[in-house]
């Protein structure tokens, strides 16, 4: 018990020394910059799939925080109605570059957490950021799609195979487990290659697992809060959607940095 208390004290000291909220806010800024290019990529593909603009807008209204779809509605309709091959190529490049800037911000934050200077070549760092960005996108897609669309998938499997109640409950647990495992696996890569320091995987497992679970809980909790208690529309008006998204990105950055701080302390003790 005393070890746990001492670890908690060391965590709070390191949390304050590194000014973790400020590092998380810097990451949120770059994550926000990446969201529009990513939307451009997604909706530049839709004209080739014969999807109606109204369907695309309704999907965004369901998938994004309340108010954000309305802000982007005009651009969404324009992208859906007109196929633009060149825009797709530019969008992919812009999205990856902007999103990698967010991971690049995390790389700098991780170096600060480990108290090391960046000595790697700029090109090498950027390539690492690009690779981690692609991995993070895949992990987040899995982490979001399984919890959100898991019931639809389970209903299809149950009707097709005629599963028992026990098997259905097992699959319910499994979909959340897969989501957490996938996100944890990518976070292991993030914590291993982001800082300019060679670390054994056993020294980064605790932070990766905790950050993965924490991110899931934060996302669910924040979504519940916005749906039931949030009043951002009254305060920020049409900007409410962007403010909500910025807060979610900030909380995401906090979860990642908490995992990094835990890994730093664990590394020092072993």
Sign of CA dihedral 103, 108, 114, 117: positive
Q: Look at residues 110, 116, 132 and name the one whose alpha carbon lies nearest to residue 23.
A: 110
pLDDT along the chain (270 residues), means of 10: 82 88 86 69 58 60 54 60 57 69 85 88 87 75 56 60 63 70 85 89 90 83 68 66 80 90 87
Per-residue pLDDT tens digits for 9-63: 888 988 888 888 988 888 888 877 776 666 665 555 555 555 566 665 665 555 5
Cβ proximity of 216 and 187 under 8 Å:
no
Residue 258's pLDDT is what?
A: 92
Domain ranges of the chain: 2-269
How far apart, in whole angstroms, are the C-alpha atoms of residue 137 and residue 45? Answer: 17
Residue 185's pLDDT is what?
A: 85
Cβ proximity of 154 and 172 under 8 Å:
yes
Residue 142's pLDDT is what?
A: 62
The upper half-sphere exposure of residue 129, i.e. CA atoms within 13 Å in the direction of its Cβ, equals 24
Burial state string for 116-155 with b = 16 or more CB within 10 A and e = fewer than 16: eeeeeeeeebbebbbebbebbbebbebbeebbeebeeebe
Element (H, E) at 264: helix 240-269
Would you state the structure tokens that stand for residue 135, as one six-digit string?
Answer: 């991995």
Cβ proximity of 68 and 244 under 8 Å:
yes
Cβ proximity of 55 and 63 under 8 Å:
no
What's the helix, strand, coil split of the chain in %, to 5? 85, 0, 15
Cβ proximity of 28 and 250 under 8 Å:
yes
How far apart, in whole angstroms, are the C-alpha atoms of residue 3 and residue 83? Answer: 60
* Local structure of 162: helix, strand or coil: coil
Q: What are the angstrom distances between the C-alpha of 53 and each of 37, 74, 145, 175?
A: 19, 10, 22, 31
């Amino acid at each position: 018990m005393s070890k746990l208390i001492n670890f908690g004290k060391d965590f709070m000291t390191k949390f304050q020394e590194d000014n973790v909220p400020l590092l998380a806010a810097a990451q949120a800024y770059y994550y926000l910059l990446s969201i529009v290019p990513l939307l451009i990529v997604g909706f530049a593909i839709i004209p080739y799939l014969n999807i109606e603009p109204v369907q695309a807008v309704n999907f965004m209204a369901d998938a994004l925080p309340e108010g954000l779809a309305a802000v982007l509605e005009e651009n969404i309709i324009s992208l859906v109605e007109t196929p633009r091959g060149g825009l797709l190529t530019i969008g992919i490049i812009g999205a990856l570059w902007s999103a990698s800037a967010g991971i690049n911000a995390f790389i700098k934050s991780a170096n600060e957490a480990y108290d090391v200077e960046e000595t790697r070549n700029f090109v090498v760092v950027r390539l690492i950021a690009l690779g981690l960005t692609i991995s993070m996108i895949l992990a987040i897609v899995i982490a979001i799609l399984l919890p959100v669309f898991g019931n639809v998938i389970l209903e299809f499997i149950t009707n097709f195979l005629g599963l028992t109640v026990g098997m259905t409950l097992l699959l319910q647990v499994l979909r959340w487990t897969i989501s957490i495992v996938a996100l944890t696996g990518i976070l292991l890569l993030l914590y291993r290659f982001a800082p300019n320091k060679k670390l054994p995987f056993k020294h980064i497992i605790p932070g990766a697992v905790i950050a993965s679970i924490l991110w899931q809980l934060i996302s669910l909790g924040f979504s519940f809060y916005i749906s039931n208690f949030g009043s951002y529309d009254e305060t920020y008006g049409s900007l409410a959607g962007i403010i909500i998204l910025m807060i979610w990105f900030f909380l995401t950055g906090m979860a990642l940095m908490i995992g990094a701080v835990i890994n730093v302390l664990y590394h020092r003790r072993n």
